[in-house]
Amino acid sequence: MENQINITPQELLNNTKNVISRIDDTLKINGFEYILTEWLTPKEYAKQYNLASISVISNWMKRGIIPKEDIVESKSLNGLKLIRNKVYKQK
């Protein structure tokens, strides 16, 4: 059986915030650099665009409203997802 790391969602969130706070305005994932003003976490996106919750974002990703090319996922950062910072659906 593979080794599993037990981490609570809050610990994961805190670790992710710590990683993000230690980097400049760019994040390098799989050899590509992402400017963090152009990419947001689902939580930041929901807050910036006044959406009810991040479940709206998850739903949009599943339904293809946010295209795959506008989503970046980093396995090395515990599955951190970034979404291109632009309007996908008008209220």
- Euclidean distance between CA atoms 28 and 23, whole angstroms: 10
Residue 7 confidence (pLDDT) above 90: no
Is 81 within 8 Å of 41 (Cβ atoms)?
A: yes
Question: What stretch of H or E contains 82?
Answer: strand 80-84
Q: Could you tell me where the DSSP H helices lie in the chain?
A: 9-22, 42-48, 54-63
Residues 6+ apart with CB under 8 A from 91: none
Is 54 within 8 Å of 46 (Cβ atoms)?
A: yes
Q: Please tell me the predicted confidence (pLDDT) of residue 63.
A: 95
Q: What is the pLDDT of residues 10-28, one digit of tens each?
A: 888 887 777 766 656 777 7
Q: What is the pLDDT of residues 25-68, one digit of tens each?
A: 777 787 888 877 899 999 999 999 999 999 999 999 999 999 99
Which band of pLDDT confidence, cut at 50, 70 and 90, is reported for residue 3? Answer: low
